[in-house]
Amino acid sequence: MALHRISLTLNGELEQVDVPSNWTLLQMLRQTLAVTGTKNGCSSGECGACTVLLNGEPVNSCMVLAVECDGAEVVTVEGLADDGRLAPVQQAIMEAGGVQCGFCTPGVLISAHALLERNPSPTEGEIKDALVGNLCRCTGYFRIIEAVKAAAAIKV
């Protein structure tokens, strides 16, 4: 398989990567760049565990080809903290007990962070809509939703 050289900004750092044309963004993140916070739950766009920000929008990174990310800006869960300080939604999800096995958590955090960036005071319905693509087998969602509400209260 031919390799393609691409450049992207990942969590604020410029990266150059040689990737096979059939690799996904998720594969490139985990296998080439060793950024493993982003999880692979289903590889088919169903679970949201692989959610990252691509040019500011949450996407399932298992459904995006790496070569499509040439020139793009990508943010993973590792990029949410600012100088070692957790983002409000990261702090809130810990305090609310919204993490159990943690497998869904990176994707949930990215979707919640994107919501709060575009809508700092979401309603409960808007929070549910924003998280509809992030499946969680453990928490029943209640504590996750409470965490997003708490993070919104910190931000406003």
Residues within the interface to ligand FES (CB under 6 A): 40-43, 45-50, 60, 62, 99-105, 136-139
How far the first Cα of the chain sits from its last, in Å, is 49
- Give 14 or 104: the residue with its C-beta nearer to ligand FES: 104
Provide the minimum distance between the beta carbon of 111 and ligand FES in the complex, in angstroms, as a whole number: 11
60-to-84, 85, 106, 117 alpha-carbon distances in Å: 26, 26, 12, 18
Provide the minimum distance between the beta carbon of 121 and ligand FES in the complex, in angstroms, as a whole number: 25
Query: Under 8 Å CB-to-CB from 23, ≥6 apart: which residues?
Result: 31, 65, 66, 67
- Give 5 or 129: the residue with its C-beta nearer to ligand FES: 129
Side-chain half-sphere of 102: how many Cα atoms within 13 Å?
Answer: 5
Provide the minimum distance between the beta carbon of 66 and ligand FES in the complex, in angstroms, as a whole number: 14
Provide the minimum distance between the beta carbon of 14 and ligand FES in the complex, in angstroms, as a whole number: 25
- Give 41 or 79: the residue with its C-beta nearer to ligand FES: 41
- Give 29 or 50: the residue with its C-beta nearer to ligand FES: 50
Question: H or E segment at 14?
Answer: strand 13-20
Report H helices in 48-104. Answer: 88-95
